[in-house]
Chains A and B, each alone.
Chain A
Amino acid sequence: MAFREEIAVRSENRFDLESIRADFPILDRMVRGNPLVYLDNGASSQKPLQVIEAITEYYLGTHANVHRGVHTLSQEATDAFERARRTSQSFLNAGSAEEVIFTSGTTEAINLVANSFGLRFLGEGDEVLISGMEHHANIVPWQMICARTGATLNIIPVEDDGTISLEKYASLLTERTRIVSVVHVSNTLGTINPVGQMIRMAHERGIPVLLDGAQAVPHMKIDVRALDADFYVTSGHKMLGPTGTGLLYGKMEWLHKMEPYQGGGEMIERVTFEKTTYAPPPFKFEAGTPNIAGFIGLEAAMQYIQRIGYDAMRMQEEKILQYATERLSGIKGVRLIGTAPEKVSVISFIVDGAHPFDVGTILDQQGIAVRTGHHCTQPLMDRYCIPGTVRASFAFYNTIEEAEKLATSLERAISMLVA
């Protein structure tokens, strides 16, 4: 038996859906008289008790500010906080803990790189390359920095099935391209981009690459060194952790060259009114008191994922994705948006003759939480000439029964909305 299969079988044996669901008390609640069917994991995942308890215990017994006091609590808090950084390091397989910067989320992480990298390395006539399926968080910061530096923002087009053509990508890598910043997994389409290859192609030309992994980390093991990513950014709250937590991995060689983007406490080595010298990475990028409790919660989230195992999670998600894809595409009037062969468990769709908001509203009445709208990817919606989609995003704690409930509730919504 192949090694991968062997792991998969072992994982399956360990995967006990019932006990996993028991770790997420919110899944038991009722919504508008119906049991909640939570299919908006792409927007934010729910939190297991282990994460909630880690935060509570921290506040009950350990809290103090970090990196400051000589007193016991401050040391314990600092130890816990820095342990979370080392856990993040091994979670992403970063080379060192100093390459992991704690941010408030993916958005802040991209803004940090756009500013710190952009102000150092972008100038008139230089180019930044992003794709047509980026979240606004990976568009607007670059637009802002391009406006300040005179650089140009170039876009890799999206194919009809929601994929990127590597040929077109190659043609957009020019001698003026200073950075490529692309989404690892599309939040709207679920597409898994061929980022390993994209990074290799960029590196052949000496161009660094940032990957937006907000939608990847909840579904797959990330190895930033195997990918050879220069920057990898993600959010804690989509991977079972608390809101207000994010990770920015950056290769040390870049972090050394970049100036901080915010100033304040914690990030300095020495301050006088004439001049300030900065602390080494990661601290020079972490001005102000961090979200200490948040990262302690995030550590618990990463440990939870490691305990369940990505293989087992992925298998459950694949099962649901396959079921839901078949079931929904069989419903008259439903059109799937994003049919890439490599996808995570996200299904975006539109219904002929019904607005996505109306569909979402009627699904909500039946207890089903989905996301409706443009998903912060307006240029992508323009590309498909649609106002938005309905998006069901499944987590490993979802069930086939829930996918079926989505389908029957959608059938009811269509019968009400479409004359």
Chain B
Amino acid sequence: MTINEIQDTIIGEFSLFGDWMEKYEYIIELGKSLPLIDPAYKDEAHLIHGCQSQVWLHGEEEDGRIQFTADSDAVITKGIIALLIRVLNAQPATEIAHADLYFIDRIGLKEHLSPTRANGLASMVKQMKYDAIALNGKTKAS
């Protein structure tokens, strides 16, 4: 599926929930089931700055596509990362770099986050795009 197809699927899923408590329940479940990151990547180099809770992100390139793993000490944050990974994982690096992540607004996530959390979300997206560009550059150079 393309990035936009996945985003549309998520928008569809979220439209089924009655209220935001249900949406949060879903996000929390996603957070709890986020695959574990290799503990070696939970270091300062993989820490995303701009998040109030701690978030570690690791990207790896494979045939021009980027695989992400991540973790956080806050489960809602983990759930949000899980959504981002679901949308961007295993997508071509250039598409990640240019992706317009409209699902965040469309599911109403942004307005339900505190400003600090919204900033954190923006930092996460930025880091995923940077990783994609950097990893893509590395392959081309080698």
Interface, chain A (partner B; CB < 8 A): 32-33, 354-355, 357-358, 360-362, 364-366, 373, 387, 416-417, 419
Contacts and interface: CB of A to CB of B under 8 A. Distances in A.
A358 B76 contact: yes
A416 B28 CA distance: 7
Given A32-B20, A416-B25, 11 more contacts: A354-B75, A355-B74, A357-B52, A357-B77, A361-B24, A361-B114, A362-B24, A364-B114, A365-B20, A365-B21, A366-B21
A355 B76 CA distance: 9
A32 B114 CA distance: 13
Nearest to B120: A357
Interface in B97-120: 112-114, 117
Contact of A357 (B20, B24, B25, B74): B74
A373 B117 CA distance: 12
A357 B53 contact: yes
A184 to B, nearest CB: 28
B115 to A, nearest CB: 12
Interface string B19-60: 111001100100010000000000000000000111000000
17 contacts: A33-B19, A354-B75, A355-B73, A355-B77, A357-B77, A357-B117, A358-B74, A360-B114, A361-B24, A365-B20, A365-B21, A365-B112, A387-B53, A416-B24, A416-B25, A417-B28, A417-B75
Contacts, number: 45
In the complex, the 4 A-B pairs of residues with the closest C-beta atoms, listed nearest first: A355-B74, A358-B76, A357-B74, A358-B74
For A357, A387, A419, the residue with the greatest tally of chain B CB atoms inside 10 Å of its CB is A357
Contact of A361 (B32, B73, B76): B76
Contacts of B117: 357, 361
A387 B73 contact: yes
Contacts of B74: 355, 357-358
Given A361-B117, A373-B52, A417-B28, A355 B75 contact: yes
A324 to B, nearest CB: 23
A361 B20 CA distance: 11
Contact of A365 (B24, B73, B75): B24
Contacts of A361: 24, 76, 113-114, 117
Contacts of A373: 52
Contacts of A357: 52-53, 74, 76-77, 117
Contacts of B54: 387
Contacts of B19: 33
A355 B53 contact: yes
A378 to B, nearest CB: 12
Nearest to B72: A355
B21 to A, nearest CB: 6
Contacts of A366: 21
A366 B20 CA distance: 10
Nearest to B20: A365
Nearest to A388: B52
A357 B53 CA distance: 8
A354 B31 CA distance: 12
A364 B52 CA distance: 17
A30 B53 CA distance: 28
A278 B32 CA distance: 63
Contacts of B25: 416
A275 B50 CA distance: 47
A133 to B, nearest CB: 21
Contacts of B75: 354-355, 358, 417
Contacts of B21: 362, 365-366, 416
A334 B24 CA distance: 21
Contacts of A419: 32
A409 to B, nearest CB: 10
A360 to B, nearest CB: 8
